[in-house]
Each structure stands twice: as structure tokens, then as C-alpha cells.
Amino acid sequence: MIKVEVSGELGPTLERLTGKINVPEGTDVSIVEMKAESSEKVRPGGRVGGSEGVRIMYFNSLRDILFRASSGETIVVIGDQRRSEIADIPEWQGIMGYPNVSYCETRNLFKQLPASANEAVNQTRPRNEIAIQLAETDTPQSIVRGLRHAANAIKRGGGLSKTDDEWHNNWRREARAAFGDLSDDELIEKAINADVEEAKPIFEGRKLDAAFFDIEGTLIQQGEVNQDLVTELNRVSQELPVIVWTDGDLENAKTLREAGVLCPVRPKSIFAGASVAKAYDDKQEDDLKQEFRISVDEFHHVSDMHEEELREGGPGGPEHE
């Protein structure tokens, strides 16, 4: 059965599309609209054109979807946001850590919805336990870090909108909860200059079955995205969960998002004391051990490498098997 949880204007569109989704007998798929506003505008329990097996319910917040994903429910999330626009939200990273969840942008519903449903039903991605745990570790520091990240983008865009912009209104509300009842300009400056406590180790003593890619000098070299290594990242992501880590500026993640790299980006410091399955880094393996006490089963030292060298274990390939 296909269950649809969208606001009214999307109902007729989804009515036409649900017939193109092949769902195995006995499998339920929920198509959930992701919106920031209140769900009071959605008519619960209604029908989409009387279609059999399709019903409209409330749409959900990210926290709601994260909880439902953890139960094993098969979910296709649809939303107006581009993937790159939501890639840095911890709850969203946790949601996409579950292979039973996929995402489809509303602008691409006709082209992508059947494939997105197939991705969630067949669970084609590996489960990312690290992203899931980080989504559930919602500390005040992570909230402020998120506000600061968004504040830089808001300032570059000319400030907070004075109109009824959902995203800006949500940021304004969260910023006032964190910093007090300040003006828009004061909130932006407060967030940008917020003193965020350095990230503390979360995974010390843990064995992490995932692949880790560094940013500066690795995925980004001399200011340019290393496309060969992005190709390698995409290949590895079919086998292992992938995390991008850095001991530099997290703002560099923006360049990666523009290049289509959407996996979680985190400071290396939170992985101090962990053992990881695979790592790609321009640092030497001994440097990771000395600076962060991180041990690696399969280490790839990255210089100006090519994809072929990565796969064949050449100059940029594994230092040890």
C-alpha cells in the first residue's frame, strides 16, 4: 500500500504518479512531504481523487521522520529543498543514514519518484550508524554551530527576509531561543561570532565500519574539487557508509555540496581514539595516530592521485593491506 502524507496541492500530482510505483505485495511505502510550517493546513484522513490505496495524512517534521525511519518504515521524503540545501542538517543526515528512506525533490517528481521508491524499498544504500548517532546527539554546541553555518549564508544573501519566508522565520526563532530577543542584524552577528566549544570525542574506543574522506588537500586540492576522488567516494559509498572529516574549516563543505558530495561533514576531533575501516587523507597515517589517536585498517595517502591509482593501490593507493 502507498500512503501519501502531503498538503493538498500535491495530491493530484501524486495520484497520477502512484500507479507508476511498483511495490511488492505486503510492502507499505509512505510518501512524506517535508515542510517547516505547521501541519494544521493539511486535511487528515482525506482521499486523493478517491484513488484506492492512497490517503492523505499529516506531513511530518524532521524529528518525526527520523523517529519513523528508526522503526524500519519505508519512506520516500519529498520536498522543495535541493539536496545540497539540507545536507548539513544533522537530523536530515540521520534520516538519510537509514537505507529504508529516500528523497525526491518535488521539481523532479515525475522523473524520480518511482526510482526513489525503489531505492527505499530495496534499501540500496548501506546503513550509516555514525550519521544516525550524530543526529541523536543534538547538543547545544551543535545547535549553535548550525545557526552559525546558516548565518554566514544569510549574511551573504543580504540578511533575513522581512516577508513570510519559512526557512528564515525558523532560523530567526531558533536564533532567538539561543541568543535572546535581538534584532535580525544582531542575531546574525551573534551567530557568526558565537564561541562554539570545540567538538569533543564521541566515538572514542569504537570500531567504525565506515570510510572517511578528508577535505583540504584531499577532496579539495588547490581550491579545486578533486573529481577523481569524488568518483572514488561515490564508488565506496555503495559498499560502506561515508563520512567527510576535517581538521580545518567546516565552511569548506559548501564547495563539496556544490559538487554533489552530500554525506555528513564532521570535525576529525569527534573521532579521536576511534578505529576506522578506511580513510583517504593527505596527512600521513602516523599523523592521524599522533594528532587524533585514530587507527585505520586501510589507509589511502592522497596526493594528486587519479582514480586508477586509487583502485589499483598505486602511488595514491593503500599503504598497507
At 275 the three-state DSSP class reads strand
Rounded to whole angstroms, the Cα distance separating 321 from 318 reads 7
Residue 144, C-alpha cell as written in the block: 549553535
* pLDDT band for position 86 (cuts 50, 70, 90): confident
| pTM given for the model | 0.70
Domains present along the chain, CATH in parentheses: 2-134 (no CATH), 140-192 (no CATH), 207-312 (3.40.50.1000)
Residue 9, C-alpha cell as written in the block: 496541492
* pLDDT band for position 223 (cuts 50, 70, 90): confident
pLDDT at 44: 33
DSSP 152-201: HHHHHTTS--SS--HHHHHHHHHHHHHH-S--HHHHHHHHHT--PPPPPP
pLDDT per residue as tens digits for the range 161-204: 776 666 778 788 878 877 888 899 999 998 888 765 555 678 99
The whole-number average pLDDT for the span 126-152 is 78
* pLDDT band for position 39 (cuts 50, 70, 90): very low
pLDDT per residue as tens digits for the range 233-248: 999 999 999 999 988 8
Does residue 7 contact residue 106 with C-beta atoms inside 8 Å? no
pLDDT per residue as tens digits for the range 99-123: 999 999 988 888 888 899 999 999 9
